[in-house]
Chains A and B, each alone.
Chain A
Amino acid sequence: MKVLIVEDNRELAENIRGYLAREACVCEHGYTYGEAQDKIAAYQYDCIILDIMLPDGDGLDLLEFIRTRKAGSSVLIISAKNALDDKVNGLELGADDYLTKPFHLPELHARLKAIYRRKNLDGDHVVSFNEISVNTATLEARVNDALLELTKKEFDLLLYFLINKNRVLTRQSIAEHLWGDYADNLANFDFVYQHVKNLRKKISAANGKDYIGTVYGLGYKFNTHTA
């Protein structure tokens, strides 16, 4: 997957690049409006991560530029402005998703993958690892072809783990992924523990391997190297 990161803050762009680099994503940077515009005009990207507050222009204008070029790139807006209007404007102008800063890198990654799957309609809706496969179109999860009875939240959780394999997922990041804004008001993370426990139980019951492990007692990790 080829990704263009349009973000004026180099450190933040570097964070994103660092995280995505391990996922076999080719990342390029555009630190300014002009730089980004040049790159979009010259190259083809699968996905563009777009900060709408740029030093030399409005990211929303850039969004229009991307749309008029019919480049076929998906656009994920990242913004520090939590303003409702910006969100609505951005989505109306054809952005595929909107993420408010500060975001969790696994969350950004999951969103990116999700819009990538949605865009490539002929592409695969199945995310799989060994005996576990998740179909994002039919919302079915299988272990060795046996259908798992998962709740919506458990399904989302499994997908989140599969996309962020071998990554430490903090409880906050999981809570925010599953509950969105509501997680803000629920500083108690017992419910994350509950969901992870149920998911592990269901996978084991279907004779799947227990890939999900607790990390440092504070987060979780989907280990592909489990013996």
Chain B
Amino acid sequence: MKLVNKFALWYLAMTSLVLLAGGVIVFRSVQHENDEEEVRRLRGRIEDARRMLKTGTRPDSLQSPNIEITEIDLAAPRIRFHVRDTMGWHSKFQGTERQIWATASYTIHGHHYAITAKDFAPEPEETLRGVVLSLSWIFFLLLVVVGLTSILISKKILSPFNQSLRVIQAFNLKQKEPIRLPETRTDEFKTLNTFLGKMTDKALHDYRALKEFTENASHELQTPLAIIRGKLELLLESGISDEQARLILSAHEAIERLSRINQSLTLLTKLENQEYEPHEPVNLSTAVHKTIFSLTELMEMKSIALETDIEENVFVKLHPALTDILLTNLFSNAIRHNHEHGTIKVKLNAGSLSIQNTGPRPGIPTEQLFQRFRKSNQSGDSIGLGLSIVKRISEVSRFSVCYQFEEPWHLLKLDFTADKLSVAR
């Protein structure tokens, strides 16, 4: 919901509450004033009748539908002025209407008279109807005015804010230029824009520094590694004893490992820096066939049976360089963590790719398998970054990836539908 609409709705809700309370107050006071006025008039009439009686006017001549004079027992106690709210027949309207009676008794010239003055008064329902009608009009007017102004105000006042939003949405860490935010005279927006400007500048700067560091680290580490490796290879060629050779070869293996870890970490960092945006859709079916083909030999060596159910022409948005890394990681995992005469099942369709393989129960909780350097077999040859890489690639390509183990099947499933949804959106 838009900010302006929220404001307007709250405003209207508050206004209707106030109008409701105001309506009750107005109704009460109008009613009260009316009745007060009526009683005063009736009191006046009784006063008039009493004065007339005092001057000697006969009570009969004063009788009318609005005034009633009856003589009561002289000994009866004097009736004090009091008011009764009742219903009376209205001859003109041919119906009963609200009527107010005021009664008082006086002793005049040795007679005791009870004087009752009556008058029709407006009923509370009628007052209420009037109040509700007028308040409804006020409410309607407010609605129109608030609605119109909110649209206009949102256009005018919020326009710098909306522009900033658009700029931020278009912001990309890879862009070379700092962002340009619109000029504004509103203090809050000024603060916001300054903050956004500073933050994105810092992000750009940090991103560049990190990228540079990654590239340098990769280069600077690979070169000495290459030197060490070369020296060891040259050393192997010289006349050395078996014992020395074994030492050199262990060192050589450690260097290999170091170099692989370095490459994998560099790749992970690049993935984290989002250097590989998923762009063109790639034909995953072809890529899967290719990967399987290149690894067939290794499967045969372990006598692993392969069952495939691959739908042709499945396209997903994925960076081509990542496609290879992803598939190779997945399949070589399925081979490495398999046992002799095991089975690998591959299933690919438009929604997902799942790879199942037989293999020993994982040695660590399954949720830790995607973490870096977490290995089921700590002493194994693998460097423990394969699944982290799979996870990262899935993340940057907006797939979801999950792992399940159900004796004896390990299942790794990539779900592409999350990607499809975001594309549709």
Q: Count the A residues whose beta carbon is within 8 Å of the partner chain — how many?
A: 41
Q: Is B382 an interface residue (CB 8 A)?
A: yes
Contacting A191 at CB < 8 Å: which of B236, B297, B381? B297
- Residues of B277-301 whose CB lies within 8 A of A: 294-295, 297-298, 301
Structural contact, B227 and A11, CB atoms closer than 8 A: yes
Q: Which of A15, A81, A186, A218 contacts B227 (CB 8 A)?
A: A15
Contact B237 A101 (CB under 8 A): no
A91 to B60, CA, bound (A): 130
Contact among A19, A190, A216 with B234 in the assembled complex (CB-CB below 8 Å): A19
CB of A179 to closest CB in B, whole Å: 8
User: Which residues from 62 to 81 on chain A have a C-beta closer than 8 Å to any C-beta of chain B?
Assistant: 80-81
Instruction: Report if A153 contacts B (CB, 8 A).
Output: yes
Q: Is B225 an interface residue (CB 8 A)?
A: yes
Complex CA distance for A217 and B245, rounded to whole angstroms: 10
Chain A residue numbers with a CB within 8 Å of B259 are 102
Q: Is the CB of A194 within 8 A of B223?
A: no
A167 with B237: CB separation less than 8 A: yes
B contact residues around A187 at 8 Å (CB) = 336, 380-383
Stretch at the interface among A24-32, A42-50, A103-111: A103-111
Residue contact B227 to A104, C-beta cutoff 8 Å: no
How far is A69 from B333 in the complex, measured between Cα atoms in Å? 48
Q: Note all chain A residues with C-beta closer than 8 A to B237.
A: 22, 167-168
Least CB distance, B135 to chain A, in whole angstroms: 72
Do B332 and A182 have beta carbons less than 8 Å apart? yes
Residues on the A chain within 8 Å of B255, using CB = 102
Instruction: Please indicate which of the listed interface residues A194, A217, A218 has the most CB atoms of chain B within 10 Å of its own CB.
Output: A218
Q: Does B219 contact A53, Cβ atoms closer than 8 Å?
A: yes
Give per-residue flags for A90-131: 1 if the beta carbon is below 8 A from chain B beta carbons, else 0: 000000000001111110000000000000000000000000
Contact of A186 among B234, B266, B332 (CB under 8 A): B332
CA distance A104 to B236 in the complex (A): 13
Q: Are A9 and B223 in contact (CB under 8 A)?
A: yes
Residue of B nearest to A82 (CB): B263
B260: chain A residues within 8 A (beta carbon): 184
User: Number of B interface residues, CB 8 Å?
Assistant: 46
Instruction: Judge if A223 is at the interface, Cβ distance under 8 Å.
Output: no
Q: Does B298 lie within 8 Å of A19, measured CB to CB?
A: no
Chain B residues, Cβ within 8 Å of A219: 236, 249
Query: Does the CB pair B218–A185 fall under 8 Å?
Result: no
Beta-carbon nearest neighbor of B247 in chain A: A216
In angstroms, Cα B226 to Cα A192, docked, is 22
Whether, in the assembled complex, B357 has its beta carbon less than 8 Å from a beta carbon of chain A, the answer is: no
A218–B295 CA distance with the chains assembled, in angstroms: 24
**Beta-carbon contact of B236 and A102 below 8 Å:** no
Contact B249 A105 (CB under 8 A): no
Q: Does chain B have a CB within 8 A of A215?
A: yes
Q: A104, B222: Cβ atoms under 8 Å? A: no
What 1/0 flags go to A154-172 for Cβ under 8 Å of B?
0000000000000110101
Cβ–Cβ < 8 Å partners of B407 in chain A = none
Whether B226 lies near A101 (C-beta < 8 A) is yes
CB of B295 within 8 A of CB of A182, answer yes
B312 close to chain A: CB less than 8 A: no
- Chain B residues lying within 8 Å of A101, measured Cβ to Cβ, are 222-223, 225-226
- Are A103 and B242 interface neighbours, CB within 8 A? no
Q: Within 8 Å of chain A (Cβ to Cβ): is B229? A: yes
Listed in ascending order, the chain A residues whose CB lies under 8 Å from chain B are: 9, 11-12, 15-16, 18-19, 22, 53, 80-82, 84, 101-106, 153, 167-168, 170, 172-173, 179, 181-182, 184-188, 190-191, 194, 215-219
6 contacts between A and B (CB under 8 A): A12-B230, A19-B233, A102-B229, A153-B297, A179-B294, A219-B249
